[in-house]
Amino acid sequence: MLDVQNLKDTRGIPLQHVGVRNVRYPINVLDRKNEKQHTIGSFNLYVDLTEHFKGTHMSRFIEILNEYRNEIDVQKFDEILESMRKKLNANVSVIEVTFPYFIEKTAPVSKAKSLMEYECKFWGSNNKNQHDFYVQVKVPVTTLCPCSKEISDRGAHNQRSEVKLIVRYREFVWIEDLIRLVEDSSSCELYPLLKRVDEKAVTERAFDNPRFAEDVVREAAIRLDDWSAIAWYAIECENFESIHGHNAYAFMKKDKK
């Protein structure tokens, strides 16, 4: 049968990314407590396309995922990228995989246990001479407004916030440690299951640790700067304000070379 993708293209325009998106596939993620956690990844798989060909072979992306079934984890990432680049005759290959990751949390007073979900992401690229990889975590937290606490006679407004942390590392880091760093930088962490005694405890903890979005980012930056395994990071905090129609936002990135 005619292979249309391999036909010559005469427009002379190379494309940086061609491939498939939103491919759901089972993966294994390293879990510090249980060794491995089985979860479902949503994959974006890309290669570059030179100006000489009409298209890429989309089926080969799925074939590669199937070839590495039950072996798709951070330790195999570069091997999979290399396989993509070679099998698709490309100069560059890229994988993005987003997945839910679960951590068992214990309520502060009642000690009730429950599973908390976090959205995580691995991103990697391979271009023969240079490899790149980063880990991203999205962590929901509580923030309490320092200004509201200062000027109010009773209480202070608080809200749920989302912190996104991206790191490139020199040495392996655990997802759990990235999440813990973010939670420690906020007014209070979130819990899936709280009894009334726990609600009292977390409300008072947030009140004792007021944080603007700016504070969360700066507190996290201090911890990241002291962590020798981290080579580069970007961190943002978005507060879904409870008394405003807008969100508060702060961002920074740093190369620790």
Tens-place pLDDT, residues 143-201: 999 999 999 999 999 999 999 999 999 999 999 999 999 999 999 999 999 999 999 99
Task: Report CA 24 to chain centroid distance, whole Å.
Answer: 17
Q: What's 215's DSSP letter?
A: H
What is the value of pTM for the model shown?
Answer: 0.93
Is the CB of residue 141 less than 8 Å from the CB of residue 163? yes
* pLDDT tens digits for range 82-134: 999 999 999 999 999 999 999 999 999 999 999 999 999 999 999 988 899 99
For tokens 């491939």, what's the residue? 19
Structural domains of the chain, ranges and CATH numbers in brackets: 15-104+116-129 (3.10.270.10), 135-257 (3.10.270.10)
The sign of the CA dihedral 76, 102, 132, 183 is negative
d(Cα 50, Cα 225) in Å, to the nearest integer? 40
Which SS3 state, helix, strand or coil, does residue 223 take?
A: helix
Which SS3 state, helix, strand or coil, does residue 155 take?
A: coil
